[in-house]
Amino acid sequence: MWKNPVEAWLIDPNASGENLEAKQPFVDNGLEVLDPKRYYTPEFMQAEWERLWTRAWLIAGIESDIPEAGDYSVFRVGREGIVIVRQPGGGVKAFYNVCPHRGNQLVLNDRGSAMQFTCSFHSWQFGLDGRCRRITDEETFNPDLVCHRPGMTEVRCETYAGLVFINMDDNPPPLRERLGLPEGYLEAYQLDRMHC
If you average pLDDT over every residue of the chain, what do you get?
87
What is the β-pairing status of strands 125-127 and 116-118?
Answer: antiparallel
Query: Quick one: what percent of the chain has pLDDT higher than 70?
Result: 86
Assess whether 24 and 48 both reside in one domain: yes
Predicted confidence (pLDDT) per residue in 3-25, tens digit? 454 454 556 666 666 666 666 66
Q: Compute φ and ψ for 152, nearest 5 degrees.
A: -65, 150
Residues 19 and 114 in one domain: no
pLDDT for position 10: 54
Instruction: Name the helix (H) or strand (E) containing 30.
Output: none
Structural domain range at position 27: 5-53
Closest-CA residue to 127 (of 70, 81, 80, 60)? 70
Same domain, 113 and 31: no
Question: Within 10 Å of residue 144's Cβ, how many Cβ atoms?
Answer: 7
Same domain, 93 and 172: yes
In angstroms, the Cα distances linking 166 to 38, 56, 61, 76, 148 are 25, 8, 9, 11, 26
Residue 52 to residue 45: CA distance in whole angstroms: 10
Per-residue pLDDT at 128: 98
C-beta of residue 90 within 8 angstroms of C-beta of residue 52: no
Going by their DSSP bridges, the two strands 132-134 and 125-127 should be labelled as antiparallel
Q: Kindly state whether residues 85 and 152 are assigned to the same domain.
A: yes
pLDDT tens digit sequence for 60-89: 999 999 999 999 999 999 999 999 999 999
Same domain, 88 and 113: yes
Task: Indicate whether 107 and 177 sit together in one domain.
Answer: yes
Contact 47, 54 (CB under 8 A): no
What burial class does residue 191 get, using C-beta atoms within 10 Å of its C-beta: 0-12 exposed, 13-18 middle, 19+ buried? middle
Question: What is the percent of the chain where pLDDT is above 90?
Answer: 61
116-143, pLDDT tens digit by residue?
999 999 898 999 999 999 988 878 777 7
What pTM does this model have? 0.80
